[in-house]
Structure 1
Amino acid sequence: MNPESSPFRPGQPVPSEFFVGRVDEIERLRGMVRASARGRFKIGFVSGERGIGKSSLAYFVRLLSEQESKLAACHVFLGGVRDLKEMLRRTFERLLKESVDKPWHGKIKSFFGDRVRKVGLFGITLELKLNDSDLSSIADDFVSAIVGLCDKLTDRSSILLILDDINGLATSDVFANWLKSMVDEISTSQKHVPLCILVVGLEERRQELVARPPSLARVFELTDITPWSDEEVIEFYRRSFEAGNAEIADDDLAILVRYTGGMPVLAHEIGDAVWRSAQSPKIAQGAITAGIVSAAEVIGRKLLEPQVFSAIRSERYRSILRKMADEPQTMRFRRSELAARLSDAEQKVLDNFLRRMKGLGALDVDPEV
């Protein structure tokens, strides 16, 4: 069918109409935003493995919160940022840009004064020109800056800042100590600070961050995103295909569930590949098979090739990988069962191989085994 009409969005935030599950997590995060609207500062960490839908969840919570109450919000992606000042610059610039076409735009523009300028070659956009002295002042007195901004935004109940993809900042002592100092200042001053900060990242990044000042661990309200249940995967596929006016049999849905493994990133890749393989709105089983094979190739190029294949040079390691691929029906395996299918030479390097794969993020220990 026409790829342009596909309801699936590989690599993009999930449209709100296709969001499924996560009810408890959504309500927990919305509760934090509501509390901030009452003047209570809140800071949370949304964690989960790659492809689990952390960014989509934060985006969805933001949409719901904006519909529910008047708040000023922004979602800033900080990939590659390692410096506190650059984080602050990007965050406030994102907040400024998010305000365009919204009732509070004039007030936030007035707050930054002559630091705002219009730029653009293919259309006008706004740029926040904060010099090093400005950024140092904001970093040193962030709480006062936020309170001053809130006072300016008189028609907004609170500010929501979503700090996403903090890989670079997680190893920054400056960032970690700044977070801890900010929280301590707010808690000891008894100030009303209508601010909610949601940090989004891998659990490993949170562990790296809280290792800097260990006392930072108690600061965050934690929300861990787990894989979808089989029922939630079925709901996602059914809702998505129905949105595209397509029909899929229950038996075929069960096949898609098996290969999805509860991972939203895989669900979108597989669903999109099946859509492209289908010849009519009634999805045939042949399209299911072709779509799964096509999705496997795409996922391999996107995720495994740069992350795993380029890092695995050993022929014995690659041979173990090929033998693992001979059992594609499950997302889990036991070491003893895998070892039984390996040669003596491969068994000698198996433990090193497993450590290497875990280090690359391609494997994880199943906590239920």
Structure 2
Amino acid sequence: MDPGLSPFRPGLPAPVECFVGRHHEIERLYQMARASTRGRLMVGFIAGERGIGKSSLASFVRSRCEREGAMAGCHVFLGGAQNLHEMMRKIFDQLLKESIDQPWHKKAAEFFGNRIRKVGLFGITVELDLQEQDLSALAKSFGPSIQEFIKKTGKQGLLLILDDINGLAGSAQVAHWIKSTIDELSISQPEVRLCVLIVGLEERRQALIQHQESLARVFSMLNMEAWSRDETREFYTKTFASAGARISTKDLESLVEYTGGLPVFAHELGDSAWRMAKTLEIDKNAVIGGIVDATEIIGRKLLDQQVFDAIRSEKYRSILKKMMRHGPVDHFRRSEVAKDLTKEEIKVFDNFLQRMRKLGALTQDPTIRGGYQFPNRLYSLYFSFYSHKISSQNHNS
């Protein structure tokens, strides 16, 4: 069917109408944000593995805060920012841009003064014209500046989401700035009505803590887990239905199995199945074709290139088919897999284990003798995807 009509959004935060589950997490973050409207600075960190839906959760909470909590919201993607000044530029530029459609835009524009300039080739948009001295001043006076901005909105508070912090987490300057700014805002008078949610991998939080140990006790932590099977079923059913499509229970279960609880996979699988379908009845052929098609897309988008290239080697094909014959696994014992292999395959299997460990796609499982585990669910699910693709191609030939 027409890809342009697909209700799935690979690579983008899920639209509010297709968001499912996470009830406990939503309520906790919403209550944190609401607490900030009473003058209590709140700082949270949403952690979880890649593809778990961290950005979508933050976006959903923001939508609820704006709709029900009388708060202003701003979602800043910090990808590409490498230092404190670039961070300031992205934060204040996004505050300006997200105010454009708001009734308080004129007052927000007053806050930025003559630093606003109009740009654009295909339609006019705005951005801030900030020099290095401006960025330095904003970093030093972030507390008073953000307080003044909140006043201009006329809202009860501001939910500021700082997403994609990869390039900044290794900066000692940024880590110390976060800690000193939090300290300053915590004792400021008048009290600031601000909730900050930082979104990232647990490794990024640890990187910040290595530079500033006190941050370990500053963040209110929320660790996201994978979807349950029921939540995954709800997502597919709800998302297909939003476009008037239907899927049988049996075919739905195939998608649920290969999703493995990861929203990023759900959007890729759903989108591929949609494109393979000939009608609004998502049948078995569409699902199988979608899984095969999504294998290539997911591998190229999400896997380390060396891992992606390695597992596509001809010599590993029979190994993967037997290793993943029962679907995705989080860990396995070498001896259990080896029982089903030929002598030649066992030699190849040992080479496979050694290479995957070297590339970081496998680690030894300390709880199982001769055991291995996938440090990232993405690898386990992709290996399963690829073995399914191999089986499908062999069957068709």
- Relative distance call for 1:84 and 1:283 in structure 2 (3 A) is same
The amino acid of 1:274's aligned partner reads: A
Three-state SS of the structure 2 residue aligned to 1:49 is coil
Correspondence for 1:356 among 353, 356, 359: 359
1:335 — aligned with what? Answer: 333
CA contact (8 A) 2:306 2:359 kept: no
Aligned to 2:319: 323
SS of residue matched to 2:75: strand
Q: How far apart, in 2, do the equivalents of 1:146 and 1:134 lie?
A: 15
> Residue by residue, what CA displacement relative to the aligned partner does 1:268-317 show, whole Å, maximum 9, x if unpaired?
1111111122222222222221221111122122223636235x5997xx
Deviation at 1:349, TM superposition (A): 7.0
Task: Give, in angstroms, the shift of residue 30 of structure 1.
Answer: 0.7
Contact 1:259-1:329 within 8 A present in 2 as well: no
Change (3 A) 1:268 1:151: closer
Per the TM alignment, residue 319 of structure 1 is displaced from its structure 2 partner at its CA by 4.6
| SS of 2:247 mapped into structure 1 | coil
Deviations 1:37-70 (A, max 9, x none): 1111111111111111111111111111110133
In the TM superposition, 1:147-166 aligns within 5 A as 147-153=147-153, 155-166=154-165
State how many pairs are aligned: 361
The alpha-carbon distance between structure 1 residues 130 and 288, as it changes in their structure 2 partners (threshold 3 A), is same
Matched residue type, 1:364 = P
- Structure 1's 39 and 8: CA in aligned 2 closer, same or farther, altered over 3 A? same
Secondary structure, counterpart of 1:87 in structure 2: helix
Match of 2:145 in 1: 145
Q: In structure 2, how many angstroms separate the alpha carbons of the residues matched to 1:56 and 1:23?
A: 13
CA distance in 2, matches of 1:254, 1:346: 30
Matches within 5 A, 1:1-369: 1-153=1-153, 155-189=154-188, 191-304=190-303, 306=305, 308-309=307-308, 312=310, 319=315, 323-326=319-322, 327=324, 329-332=326-329, 333-336=331-334, 337-338=336-337, 341=341, 343-344=346-347, 346-347=349-350, 350-351=353-354, 353-354=356-357, 356-358=359-361, 363-364=374-375
Q: Structure 2 CA distance, aligned partners of 1:121 and 1:349?
A: 51
Task: Please give the secondary structure, in 2, of the residue aligned with 1:197.
Answer: strand
1:51 match: secondary structure: coil
Q: Closer, same or farther in 2 for the Cα pair 1:250/1:119, shift >3 Å? A: same
Contact 1:51–1:265 at 8 Å: present in 2 too?
A: yes
The CA distance in 2 between the partners of 1:275 and 1:148, in whole Å, is 47
Whole-Å separation in 2 of the counterparts to 1:237 and 1:22 = 15
TM-aligned CA distance change 1:262 to 1:13, over 3 Å? same
The two structures have a TM-score, normalised by structure 1, of 0.90
Deviates more, 1:66-75 or 1:110-119: 66-75
For residue 323 of structure 1, what is the amino acid of its counterpart? I
- Percent identity reads 49
C-alpha separation between the residues in 1 aligned to 2:34 and 2:11? Answer: 30
Distance (Å, rounded) in 1 between the aligned partners of 2:33 and 2:94: 19
> Does the C-alpha gap of structure 1 residues 324 and 190 become closer, same or farther in structure 2, counting only changes over 3 Å?
farther
How far did residue 148 of structure 1 move?
Answer: 2.3
Letter of the 1:240 counterpart: T
Unaligned stretches of 5+ in structure 1?
Answer: none
Cα distance change, pair 237–307 in 1 and its aligned pair in 2 (3 A): farther
2:116–2:126 Cα contact (<8 Å) kept: yes
Conserved 8 A contact 1:80-1:168: yes
Shift of the 69–249 alpha-carbon distance from structure 1 to 2, 3 Å rule, reads same
Task: Give, in whole Å, the separation in 2 of the partners of 1:365 and 1:121.
Answer: 42
Shift of 1:138: 1.6
Q: CA 1:150–1:304 in 2, change beyond 3 Å: closer, same or farther?
A: closer
1:117-153 residue CA offsets vs partner (Å, 9 max, x unmatched): 2222221111111222221122112112222223333
Q: Counterpart of 1:106 in 2: which secondary structure? A: helix
Does structure 1 retain, via aligned residues, the 8 Å contact 2:74–2:161? yes
* Cα root mean square deviation, aligned: 2.5
How many angstroms does 1:348 deviate by? 6.4
Query: Structure 1's 189 and 101: CA in aligned 2 closer, same or farther, altered over 3 A?
Result: closer
More moved, 187-196 vs 12-21 = 187-196
- AA aligned opposite 2:28: R
TM-score with structure 2 setting the length: 0.84
Aligned equivalents of 2:216, 2:137: Cα separation in 1: 26
In structure 2, list runs of 5 or more residues that go unmatched.
Answer: 364-372, 378-397
User: What is the alpha-carbon distance in structure 2 between the residues aligned to residue 325 and residue 212 of structure 1?
Assistant: 44
Instruction: Please give the secondary structure, in 1, of the residue aligned with 2:282.
Output: coil
